[in-house]
Amino acid sequence: MLNAFNKFQPTAHCASTMTTEFLPIFRAASAPAPTPQGLAVLRLGFRPFYLAGTLFAALAVPLWLALFLGQVAWTLPLPPLLWHAHEMLFGFAVAIIVGFLLTAAKAWTGLQTPRGPALAALVLLWLAARIAALVGPYLLYAALDLALLPLVAAILVRILLKARNHRNLPLALILVLLALANLLFHLAVLGVLALSVMTPLYAALALVLMIECVMGGRVIPSFTMAVTPGLKLVASPAWERLTLGATALGLLLWLLAAPPVLSAALLALASGLHVRRLLGWRPGLTLKRPILWILHAAYAWIPVALALLALAQCGWVSASAGVHALGLGATGGLIIGMVTRTARGHTGRPLLVSRPEVLAYGLVMSAAVLRVLLPLLAPSLYLAALLAAGLAWSAAFLIYLWHYTPWLVGTRLDGKDG
């Protein structure tokens, strides 16, 4: 897996174009822009999936809190805790990942990704699974939930093979691995496998983290160089391999319940390596550019989370602290940063965020601090911290929807397709 990840290398061309294209880590094929047609919201994958994913993020957390506090009597196909953990990964995060990939694949290859009715069908499949998770019989929910990722993986493989873009094929493998983790989860819930139901969820979170580590290592320094004249950030391949390798192995040992001393040591090593990596990207240079500092700030939660997981192996803190540091701080922060950046770029708008977006950034980071760090420092404030974190999280994504919905459902400012 790490060898496949290491194929993703930025080109010299990327550093000069990253501020105007959708994560062009790889040189995109040029092609004449087609004439815009059909509903704007269904012209490119990021539009409906960003809308659906962020709306789900804003609504699912308050519902979870209401269920957790006993304020809503609702019998779900899953226990509420499992519903929350599963849906934030395979509902929220997967929606953003799918929207990202369906958009990026077009930029990388110059070939058309699903649009119009085909794209609508994918979104409706995702939506049907989310509804079934609330009201449907479990087998229907599982069947709907398991269908999306293999479909998107097949679409991605077909497009990449047609374009002979073989170096991006590992992305389809990542989707397959996520689908496998989801399958193991449902089989464990149904009692088919004698497996803790949380293990596949943790595996999915670990896989998402590895995607963030690799992609973050490509785009964050490149974005930083692109807006800082004269800055050259050159990563050592040996240090990069060591960082990714220690992270992957530490997470694997954590998932396999290896001897705590060994897993704690590797997780702590990985945490330190990510601190070194982040400092090498010169985060201090981004303080006046919110669209950049949110990516650096979100990435900073990765070493925090790995350190907390190491401490959890020693029994000093709950593993929940590390899990939520990854889920809220790293994943939530990187998502809010990228769904603003890419939506601006792909609707023909400048990559300069306004006050509402900066507020959304601050709210997501505040939610992570409230949910992860405040209970560690003041356990008696756990419930208040939980409520405040949920409020901040939902407010952040509601702000995004308020600000971006007109752009996501409308045509590009420059009149181009997409």
Most confident residue range from 30-34, 266-270, 351-355:
266-270
pLDDT score at 6: 44
Which one has a higher pLDDT value, 34 or 98? Answer: 98
CA dist 258 and 250 (Å) reads: 10
| Residue among 180, 168, 173 nearest 154 (CA) | 173
125-183 pLDDT, tens per residue? 999 999 999 998 999 999 999 999 999 999 999 999 999 988 888 888 889 999 999 99
CA dist 168 and 264 (Å) reads: 33
CA dist 19 and 36 (Å) reads: 23
Q: What is the pTM of this model?
A: 0.90
Instruction: Calculate the alpha carbon distances from 181 to 88, 174, 187 in Å.
Output: 14, 11, 10
| Residue among 140, 161, 256, 136 nearest 203 (CA) | 256
Section 235-256 average pLDDT = 95
Q: Are the beta carbons of 225 and 187 closer than 8 angstroms?
A: no
CA dist 203 and 194 (Å) reads: 16
CA dist 21 and 108 (Å) reads: 10
What are residue 287's phi and psi, to 5 degrees? -60, -25
For the chain, first and last CA: distance in Å? 32
Section 407-412 average pLDDT = 94
405 Cβ contact list (under 8 Å, min separation 6): 51
Mean per-residue pLDDT of the chain: 90
93 Cβ contact list (under 8 Å, min separation 6): 53, 208, 331, 335
Q: How confident is the model at residue 19 (pLDDT cuts 50, 70, 90)?
A: very low
CA angle 320/63/295 to nearest 5° reads 55
| Residue among 301, 212, 191, 198 nearest 254 (CA) | 198
pLDDT score at 166: 87
Q: Are the beta carbons of 405 and 369 closer than 8 angstroms?
A: no
| Residue among 172, 26, 4 nearest 107 (CA) | 26
Residue 335, Cβ neighbours under 10 Å: how many? 25
From the number of C-beta atoms within 10 Å of its C-beta (0-12, 13-18, 19+), residue 62 rates as middle
Instruction: To the nearest 10°, report the CA torsion of 214, 216, 218, 222.
Output: -170
Q: How confident is the model at residue 32 (pLDDT cuts 50, 70, 90)?
A: low
Whether the per-residue pLDDT at 33 is higher than 60: the answer is no
pLDDT score at 7: 42
Least confident of 17-26, 339-348, 377-386: 17-26
